[in-house]
C-alpha cells in the first residue's frame, strides 16, 4: 500500500493496479478481481489529534496499516465515514469498531440486510461492523480549520455518500465517480444516476479524488470536474445502446475514445471487462423491464 498526500493533511491510502499480483487467491474473488485489480484508495483528513477516515479499505490488514499510520501522526480520535455499503469500502470496519462510524441511513439499512451475503463472500467480511451514527441527506463535520460536508447521492449505489471540502473545492467521491468508467451495480437506476450526476456538477468542485482511479492523478491532486461529465456521458451512451437493442461488442477504448483523447479519463485495460459487464447488465435490465 502506498501512502500519498495530495493536499496538506489529506492522505490517500492506495493499493492495486499491479500486473500479475493477487492478494487473496488465484481463484476468482471480489478482492483480487474487483477492487485490487482496478486500484483502490481510502482517504483520511488529519488535524492534530483528530482524523476523519473515508472508507476502511479492502481488508483488515489494510485497515490496520491505515490506523497505524494515523496513530503514528499523533491521532487519538478517528471518525469513520462510509461512502456506501459495498465490500471494498467496509471490509476493514472491524479495525475501527471502537470509533464513531458514520453512514447515511440507507447504508446502515442495506448493511443490515446483507450481513449474511457479506459473510459468505470470498474473502468473507465477518464480522460486519455497523455504523453507530446515522444521517440523512447532509451532515457537516468540523475538523480543525476545515469544514467537511457529507452529502448523499444516488449514484452507482442508491446509498452513496460523498465528502466535500467546500473551502478547497475538493470532492472525495467514493464510487459515485470512477476512472476509467463507472461500475454499474444497479442498472435499473441509471436514469436516476444521470440526474444525480447533474446535481453533483452544481457543487463547488475544483478537484475530485475517487476511490478507484489512477494513482498518479490522485497523487497530483485528483481529477478535473470534467470527470463528472465523462461518467454521465458514459451512462447516457449505455442507456442509448440498450434502448436501441444494440448487442455487438464495442471495446471500451472505442466507446469512450473522445473522453480519453480529451484527458477527462485515463484508459486502463482492466476496465474492458468492467465495460463488458456493464453492457450485459444494462441489456439485461432492459430485457427484464420489457418482459423479454
What pLDDT does residue 178 have?
A: 97
The CATH number that applies at residue 82 is 3.60.15.10
Q: What is the pTM of this model?
A: 0.95
The owner of cell 453507530 is 132
- For 3, residues 6+ apart whose C-beta sits below 8 A from its C-beta are 11, 12, 13, 14, 69
Rounded to whole angstroms, the Cα distance separating 7 from 110 reads: 33
The owner of cell 449505455 is 238
**How many domains is the chain built from?**
1
Task: With cut-offs at 50, 70 and 90, classify the pLDDT of residue 248.
Answer: low
Which domain range does residue 154 map to? 2-290
Q: What is the pLDDT of residues 224-242, one digit of tens each?
A: 999 999 999 999 999 998 8
Does residue 288 surpass a pLDDT of 80? no
Mean pLDDT (whole number) for 55-76: 98
- For 221, residues 6+ apart whose C-beta sits below 8 A from its C-beta are 6, 7, 207
The DSSP string of 70-131 is HHHTT--EEEEE-S-SSHHHHTTGGGGTTSEEEEEHHHHHHHHHTHHHHHTSSS---S-PPP
Longest dimension (CA), the chain: 59
Q: What is the pLDDT of residues 4-47, one digit of tens each?
A: 999 999 999 999 999 889 999 999 999 999 999 999 999 999 99
Q: What is the pLDDT of residues 185-212, one digit of tens each?
A: 999 999 999 999 999 999 999 999 999 9
The DSSP string of 42-58 is EEEEEETTEEEEE---S
Quick check: helix, strand or coil at residue 21?
coil
What pLDDT does residue 292 have?
A: 52
Quick check: helix, strand or coil at residue 217?
helix
Amino acid at each position: 500500500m502506498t501512502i500519498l498526500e495530495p493536499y496538506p493533511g489529506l492522505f490517500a491510502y492506495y493499493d492495486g493496479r499491479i500486473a500479475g499480483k493477487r492478494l487473496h487467491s488465484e481463484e476468482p474473488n471480489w478482492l483480487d478481481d474487483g477492487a485490487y485489480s482496478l486500484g483502490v484508495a481510502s482517504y483520511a483528513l488529519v488535524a492534530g489529534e483528530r482524523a476523519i477516515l473515508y472508507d476502511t479499505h479492502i481488508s483488515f490488514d489494510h485497515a490496520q496499516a491505515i490506523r497505524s499510520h494515523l496513530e503514528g501522526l499523533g491521532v487519538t480520535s478517528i471518525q469513520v465515514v462510509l461512502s456506501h455499503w459495498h465490500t471494498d469500502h467496509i471490509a476493514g470496519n472491524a479495525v475501527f469498531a471502537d470509533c464513531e462510524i458514520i453512514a447515511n441511513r440507507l447504508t446502515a439499512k442495506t448493511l443490515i440486510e446483507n450481513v449474511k451475503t457479506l459473510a459468505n463472500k470470498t474473502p468473507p467480511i465477518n464480522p460486519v461492523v455497523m455504523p453507530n451514527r446515522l444521517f440523512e441527506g447532509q451532515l457537516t463535520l468540523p475538523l480543525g480549520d476545515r469544514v467537511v460536508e457529507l452529502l448523499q447521492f444516488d449514484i452507482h449505489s442508491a446509498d452513496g455518500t460523498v465528502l466535500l471540502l467546500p473551502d478547497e473545492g475538493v470532492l472525495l467521491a467514493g464510487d459515485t465517480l470512477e476512472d476509467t468508467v463507472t461500475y454499474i451495480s444497479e442498472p435499473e437506476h441509471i436514469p436516476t444516476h444521470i440526474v444525480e450526476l447533474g446535481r453533483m456538477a452544481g457543487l463547488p468542485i475544483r478537484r475530485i479524488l475517487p476511490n478507484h482511479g489512477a494513482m498518479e492523478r490522485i497523487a497530483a491532486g485528483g481529477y478535473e470536474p470534467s470527470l463528472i461529465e465523462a461518467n454521465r456521458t458514459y451512462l447516457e451512451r449505455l442507456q442509448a445502446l440498450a434502448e436501441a437493442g444494440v448487442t455487438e461488442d464495442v471495446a471500451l477504448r472505442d466507446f469512450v475514445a473522445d473522453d480519453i483523447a480529451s484527458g477527462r479519463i485515463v484508459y486502463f485495460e482492466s476496465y474492458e471487462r468492467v465495460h463488458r459487464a456493464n453492457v450485459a447488465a444494462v441489456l439485461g435490465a432492459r430485457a427484464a423491464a420489457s418482459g423479454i
